[in-house]
């Protein structure tokens, strides 16, 4: 295994797995967290749960159980509004949050974030070359991701959300100054109803330079969810120790 791009950021190995709580209701999310127990420490709470009920009460519930929280709402509005939203979120004990948009939006978020780590979205993993053409982005995907990451770093964001296909590019040009969070992870052959087009395996993501991976469906839909989470944790540990478990 190449060590060239492997994350050097001091993150406990078991916190490098972020479980995406993409379920319809708070009670279902709580049941899943209880079922997974100590196999998962970090959770992503996104738009689906935001619409389902007491979103911030659930975040408090997670923090009371010693969990870390990634709020993935991709804030996108006029800069002043995004800045106020990030400032309010920073008082909730959240660890990571995503924003979308131009330099002014990223700057407003960076100025307001406090201890909250702000992540700029580069290019969604659900988009391929054809989708970006339709949206008017005629540049190469890798060029787009690198350009947005460079601007995010200069402006004061803490990291980016990027496909594992571009993580090594970010490490090559920006070394380890930005956190790289990689969604679209498929540790097993799970291609039914696939809505992620630019996916990678656990090993590929970390060997390419990811600091964290976000995994949802492979754990959520497993026959034994906790066992699947522990399998992924073992894969992560193997990458960082260089040993096969």
Residues with catalytic function: 74
Which of 29, 25, 101, 15 has the alpha carbon at shortest distance from 62?
29
As a whole number of angstroms, the distance between CA 94 and CA 117 comes to: 9
Alpha carbon separation from 67 to 33, 42, 58, 61, 113 (Å, rounded): 10, 6, 11, 9, 20
- Sign, CA dihedral 66-72-73-78, equals positive
| Residue 136 CB neighbour total at 10 angstroms | 6
């Amino acid at each position: 295994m190449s060590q060239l791009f492997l994350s050097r950021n001091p993150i406990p190995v078991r916190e490098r797995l972020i479980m995406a709580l993409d379920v319809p209701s708070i009670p279902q999310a709580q049941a899943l967290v209880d079922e997974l127990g100590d196999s998962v420490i970090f959770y992503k709470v996104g738009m689906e749960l935001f619409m389902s009920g007491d979103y911030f009460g659930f975040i408090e519930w997670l923090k009371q159980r010693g969990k870390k929280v990634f709020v993935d709402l991709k804030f996108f509005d006029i800069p002043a509004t995004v800045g106020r939203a990030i400032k309010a979120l920073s008082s909730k004990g959240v660890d990571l949050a995503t924003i979308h948009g131009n330099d002014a939006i990223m700057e407003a978020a960076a100025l307001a974030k406090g201890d909250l780590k702000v992540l700029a979205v580069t290019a969604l993993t659900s988009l391929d070359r054809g989708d970006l053409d339709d949206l008017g982005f005629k540049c190469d995907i890798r060029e787009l991701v690198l350009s947005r990451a460079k601007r995010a770093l200069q402006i004061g964001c803490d990291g980016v959300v990027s496909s594992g296909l571009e993580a090594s590019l970010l490490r090559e040009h920006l070394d380890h100054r930005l956190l790289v969070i990689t969604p679209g992870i498929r540790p097993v052959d799970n291609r039914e109803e696939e809505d992620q087009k630019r996916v990678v395996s656990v090993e590929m993501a970390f060997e390419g330079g990811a600091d964290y991976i976000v995994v949802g469906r492979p754990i959520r839909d497993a026959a034994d969810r906790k066992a699947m989470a522990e399998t992924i944790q073992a894969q992560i540990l193997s990458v960082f120790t260089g040993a096969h478990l």
